[in-house]
Chain A
Amino acid sequence: MVVKRLLLIVLLVIAALLGALAWLRTKEAHTFSRPYRVHTFTGTNYVLQLTSTTVGRVHTNYVVILAARLENPNPFEVLLQRDWFVLTDHDRDYYLPSTNGTQTALIRLPPHGVLERELFSYTVPGDTFAGTLAFLAGHQYFVLIKSRHPYRPEMGDGRFVTFHRRDW
């Protein structure tokens, strides 16, 4: 009887801990993907929302791929330069997104249109993950995408991991 009760308590504690962890992680995911109302250098509004961060290793370098949702609330087309979306690390090193393949130098947002999945790719050295990483949204926001704790990706060449949170 006592053993049964103890087992029940242990199970309840585990369930409560798992529930709390799930709540925290869901909250963290919501914080990560909160929308930002930003504007271009000429003052046009648009909405940016980060959806995921992908990190991977290629030879001796690392790749960071940010997926974002872009929304244009205006009745006219908005043109965004990909170079505006800069990644910066704890050392204040700045990285420009690559502009090859499907990633054109100019991002076109149609009137009242949405780009559900726009990708920004950056090639960074390994020491970039020693501290925080931030993404420059418009010219108003530095959106944190990584915690200040060092991250040592134990991954082989060509292995990538995707996060929907920033506490990694």
Chain B
Amino acid sequence: MFKKLRNLVLFAVIAALATIVVYQRYFWPGSQRITRTVDAPAVLQQIQALQELATVKYTLQKVIGLEEEKVPFGSESVMMVVLAHVKAGVDLSALTLRDVGLGPDNQIVLRLPAPKILDVYIDDKQTKVYQRSKTWWTPWVPNNPALEQQARQAALESVQLAATQSGVLSNAQQNAETALRTFLQTAGFQSVTFR
């Protein structure tokens, strides 16, 4: 009777140990051994899929005054308060195989393309024509319907230049590196280096 009970306990212990070993080997979180084959073209394809990665958006307000000299005499002017948005980032579709380097122990070295301004656009709701006038002594000179469009173009150029001088590109570069580092670490890379 005692011998039977001992065998039963022994069997139960062995069965429990076997269960624990099997569970740990196959079902315990983190115990699975993932075997990945990572090659540079595959990584490149994944990054290129992100296309133009806009990483920073500046909103700038500018007062734009445009004066047009009329032929032969007189002038017409417009003054606008313009609110515009500037988006900057990196064009990841421009990456090539030469820009991706894979090292041992899940290391990756990336050379990002130079950051650039991806889009500049005027917020029409927040943009107002403040003043529009013409020289009083040239009433025969017709108004230029394209003057506002010209002022808007000037505003776009001004805003882009102002954003560049405010450091939008360096911000875009930093944010792109941060975003890509997070993305690649989530994908399993332990060390992400930019050069």
Contact = CB atoms under 8 A, between A and B. Distances in A.
Interface in B150-186: 150-151, 153-154, 156-158, 160-162, 165
A100 B68 contact: no
B72 A159 contact: no
B73 interface: yes
Interface string A65-80: 1010000000000000
A161 B158 contact: no
Interface stretch (A84-92, A105-113, A115-123, A127-135): A115-123
B153 A121 contact: yes
B158 A56 contact: yes
B166 to A, nearest CB: 9
A26 B141 CA distance: 13
B66 A123 contact: no
Interface string B101-139: 000000000000000010111000000000000000000
Contact of A158 (B65, B70, B156): B65
Binding site of B, secondary structure by majority: helix, strand, loop or mixed? mixed
Interface in B58-114: 62-73
Interface in A10-59: 21-23, 25-26, 29, 52, 54, 56, 58-59
B73 A58 contact: no
B5 to A, nearest CB: 85
Contacts of A121: 153, 156-157
B146 interface: yes
Contacts of B160: 98, 100
Contacts of B63: 158
Nearest to A64: B157
Nearest to B156: A101
Contacts of B65: 158-160
A54 B161 CA distance: 16
Given A22-B73, A58-B162, A160-B151, A63 B157 contact: yes
Contacts of B165: 59-61
Contacts of B67: 159-162
B37 interface: no
Given A21-B72, A59-B162, A117 B146 contact: yes
Contacts of A29: 71-72
Among B70, B120, B161, find the residue whose CB has the most chain A CB atoms closer than 10 A. Answer: B161
B161 A58 contact: yes
Interface in A118-168: 119, 121, 123, 158-165
B35 interface: no
Given A58-B161, A160-B151, 12 more contacts: A23-B72, A29-B71, A59-B165, A61-B165, A65-B150, A98-B160, A100-B160, A102-B156, A123-B157, A159-B65, A160-B65, A161-B66
**3 closest residue pairs by CB, A with B:** A22-B72, A162-B68, A25-B72
22 contacts: A23-B72, A25-B72, A52-B150, A54-B150, A54-B153, A54-B154, A58-B157, A58-B158, A58-B161, A65-B150, A67-B150, A101-B121, A117-B149, A119-B150, A121-B153, A159-B67, A160-B65, A160-B154, A161-B69, A162-B67, A164-B68, A165-B69
